[in-house]
Amino acid sequence: MTKVSRLVLALAGVAAAAGPWWLGDGPMRFLSELFLMLAMAQTWNLLAGYAGLVSMGQQVFVGLGAYSLFVTSIALNLAPFWVLPVAPLVCAAVAAVVALFLFRLREAYFAIGTWVFSEVVSLTISKIERLGGERGMGLPTAKLIDPRWLEPLTFWLSTATAAGAIVGTYALLRSRVGLGLMTVRDNDLAAASIGVDVWRCRFVAFVLAAAGCGLAGAVSFAATLYAAPSLAFDPNWVVVMMFVVLIGGIGTLEGPIVGVIIYFTLSELVTVVFNLSAGWYLDHKLPAADLYRVDPNRLRDMVTIVRDRIKEYVVPHRKRLLVIEDNDIERESIVELLAHDDIEVTAVGHDPEPSARCPA
Amino acid sequence: MIWIETIVNGVLYGGLYGLLGVGLALIVGVMRVVNLSHGEFIVLSAFVGVSLAHVMPGVHPLILLAPVAVIAFGLGFGLQAVLVNRVVTRPDPFASILLTFGVAVVMRNLMVEIFGADPRTLPAGRLAHASTTIAGLSVGVLPILILIMSVALFTLLQLVIMRTRFGRIVRATADNRDVVRLMGVNPGRVYNVVMGLALALASVAGMLLAIRSSFTPYSGVERLLISFEVVVLGGLGTFWGAMVGGIALGVAELVGLKFDPNAGPLYAHLLFLVVVLMRPNGLFGARP
């Protein structure tokens, strides 16, 4: 990590920590939503982009995270944010158990299997009277928190969850399991044949993704103080995750970040600028009146920035390679083997002066 | 006796589920496209049916099936020609998912704007409640008609795909879209007709379902899930598998509702999970 990027990260951290003092209520709530969605999208990206597991049922972990938090908080009569770790733990445990069964299914069967599992959990919870049935349940223990701190706490937790999801995915991908995952994504048969434990790699990714999703879901519903099966287990959760990941770039760490910016910009455009009620996702999560007024010129600038960033990703990056080999035939065959559009190969017979070497 | 009646009704109801899914099975089989807007088209056709019934009050809804199916065919043809054909050749399977998802969102919101969010049903007059007694069992007339119609449409589809020149072209296109072009077939046009057919079948199912239970512009997701379950339970790409899958889900749902009245489709989902876990490729799917 360079000095500059460390500085930028530190500044971003300070800006986020001080967020409640310089952001208005509307933007803060908006950013909390955005960060939580970013965290969820990142976990979906880990599954679909790296582990080759396209799940249509990740909303089950959003809902389970929310319900486990609500139930524990009420049972122990503790402020919801103190029992937050319960949500990822419960989700990880459930994921570990259902993975034993659902991993028998492949591709489309797995996608629909997870969705149906989510529906089963949702319908079961809506039959349990003690959890409020279809009407859902409130979060009376939120009284234990000073109401002035509720929104700043939500904001900090959302920011931390998003940062955790990105850093966590990054760390996972650099580990042994992560390297295994990437070989599994590219070709699971080939991966198995070189000794990668395909099942175990997928299992780890599935359990961790569930934990992340559960944490984000718990924070999201703790902020609204109310959870109902139709909201918590709404398939729209996974649909938005999917949208964000696919539009930003699946299988890349930065994809969900770009995607979430595009998604929220589009929702804003539709709800604020065109004043349509079609914020089909936002309208029940964020009252339109709370959204800050956006100057159309600024929005246009945002769109331009986003577009430029997309262009940046699309432009191919050429790698430069220096091949030093004194045997002519071997050198030519190496060049032949390596040749590809995105690689620029320079072949020489002996080690040139260091100044003549290609940079990196 | 009441159990046998429930099972019979489940079979009759399940034919409808099969019909919901067969369009999806057709599209997946022929062009490897997962149409996420399938449910919205099912709901839209029900809205078109309600509107037509409103404009022509004397006409029975079952007669309106024909114009609704024709409209749905046109919509499917247009959807494929204008939008889906642009992404269908991409090697990335997510392109079509993203596109049809966008279509679904736009359609859902347009339906809310145009028709409002209130639950509706399609009134079918006396027929909706008429029942007859067969071998001592009291069975609704409408469910019998629905099952007959489902089986007839299934048979027709099977005949068209397996026996006609058009069906041969469709199967050849499904096998290899590049080679059929050498034989003078335009795969894009074949896809247009297949999407039209799939949505026409779905629209018939959507209308019939609207007679039985209420719907809102937001019902598309439930309808989509049923369609997916039917297709996956039967095994991807098999038509009769979809029919059997639909019937199994219909029976499970109605039997479940009999001893647990507020369960909704819970028992159908459970049956789905159990069957798919025991047979990971569906009931009639090919072994990999």
B155-179 per-position pLDDT tens digit: 999 899 889 999 999 999 988 888 8
Q: Does domain B2-278 correspond to CATH entry 1.10.3470?
A: yes
Tell me if B109 and A243 make a contact (CB, 8 A cut-off): no
User: Is A130's pLDDT higher than 60?
Assistant: yes
Interface contact B114, partner A, CB < 8 A: no
Looking at residues A56-64, what average pLDDT do you find? 93
Tell me which residue range forms the domain holding A175. Answer: 23-234
Q: Closest by alpha carbon to B272, among A233, A58, A105, A62? A: A105
B269 touching A (Cβ < 8 Å): yes
Q: Is residue A288 part of a domain?
A: no
Q: How near does any CA of chain B get to the CA of A246, in Å?
A: 7
Same domain, A218 and A95: yes
How big is chain B by its Cα radius of gyration, in Å?
19
To the nearest whole Å, the CA of B99 is away from the closest chain A CA by 10
Tell me if A202 is assigned to some domain: yes
Residues A148 and A42 in one domain: yes
Query: What pLDDT, on a 0 to 100 scale, did the predictor assign at position A357?
Result: 53
Q: Sort out which chain A residues have CB atoms less than 8 A from B266's CB and list them.
A: 120, 123-124, 127
The residue out of A234, A263, A289 marking a domain boundary is: A234
Query: Which ipTM was obtained for this model?
Result: 0.82
Q: Is this model's pTM higher than 0.90 or not? A: no
CB pairs A-B closer than 8 Å: 71
Which residues in chain A are closer than 8 Å to B113, comparing Cβ atoms?
277-278
Contact B262/A at CB under 8 A: yes
pLDDT of A62 strictly over 70: yes
In a domain, A251, yes or no: no
Lowest mean pLDDT among A356-360, B105-109, B212-216, B235-239: A356-360
- Chain B interface, mutation test: which of A45, A54, A120, most B Cβ atoms within 10 Å? A120
Using the predicted structure, report yes or no on whether residue A180 has a pLDDT greater than 70.
Answer: yes
Confidence category of residue B39, pLDDT binned at 50, 70, 90:
very high
Contact B101 A124 (CB under 8 A): no
Across the interface, do B94 and A116 touch by the CB < 8 Å criterion? no
Q: What is the pLDDT of residue B203?
A: 93
Q: Which residue of A has its CA nearest to B232?
A: A109
Measured between beta carbons, the chain A residues lying within 8 angstroms of B265 are 119, 123
Q: What is the largest CA-CA distance in chain B?
A: 60
Q: For residues A31 and A148, state if they share a domain.
A: yes
Q: Are strands B131-134 and B137-140 parallel, antiparallel or unpaired?
A: antiparallel
Residues A324 and A199 in one domain: no
Within a domain: A294: no
pLDDT(A153) > 70 = yes
Report the pLDDT value the prediction gives residue A224, as an integer from 0 to 100: 85
Question: Which residue of B97, B263, B282 is in closest CB contact with A123?
Answer: B263
- C-alpha span between A194 and A184 (Å, rounded): 11
Pairing of strands A343-348, B131-134: unpaired
Q: Render A164-199 in DSSP notation, one character per residue.
A: HHHHHHHHHHHSHHHHHHHHHHH-HHHHHHTT--HH
Give yes or no for a contact between B40 and B110, defined as CB atoms under 8 angstroms apart: no
Helical packing angle, A236-248 and A255-268, nearest 10°: 120
Each residue of B47-72: pLDDT tens digit? 999 888 888 887 888 888 999 999 99
Residue from B35, B96, B277 to probe the interface with A (highest A Cβ count within 10 Å): B277
- Whether pLDDT at A278 is above 50: no
Q: B263–A242: do the CB atoms touch at under 8 Å?
A: no
Could A242 and B97 be called an inter-chain contact, meaning their C-beta atoms sit closer than 8 Å? yes
The total domain count for chain A is 2
C-alpha span between B81 and B78 (Å, rounded)? 5
Domain presence at residue A271:
no
Domain boundaries, chain B: 2-278
A22-34 pLDDT, tens digit per residue, is 777 778 888 888 9
Highest-confidence segment of A139-153, A304-318, B25-39: B25-39
Q: Find the CB nearest A246 among B94, B109, B270.
A: B94
Q: In the predicted model, is pLDDT for residue A264 greater than 80?
A: yes
Test B280 with A105 for CB contact under 8 angstroms: yes
Is the pLDDT confidence value at A209 over 90? yes
| CB contact at 8 A, A248 and A257 | yes
Q: Which of A211, A234, A257 is the last residue of a domain?
A: A234
Residues on chain B touching A120 (C-beta within 8 angstroms): 266, 269-270, 273
B227: nearest Cα among B26, B22, B37, B10 = B22
Of A116, A119, A127, Cβ closest to residue B262: A127
Residues B228, A123: C-beta atoms closer than 8 Å: no
SS3 content of chain B, % helix, strand, coil (to 5): 75, 5, 20
Whole-angstrom distance, CA of residue A227 vs CA of residue A65: 11
Cross-chain residue pair B232–A239, CB shorter than 8 Å: no
**What pLDDT does residue B278 have?**
86
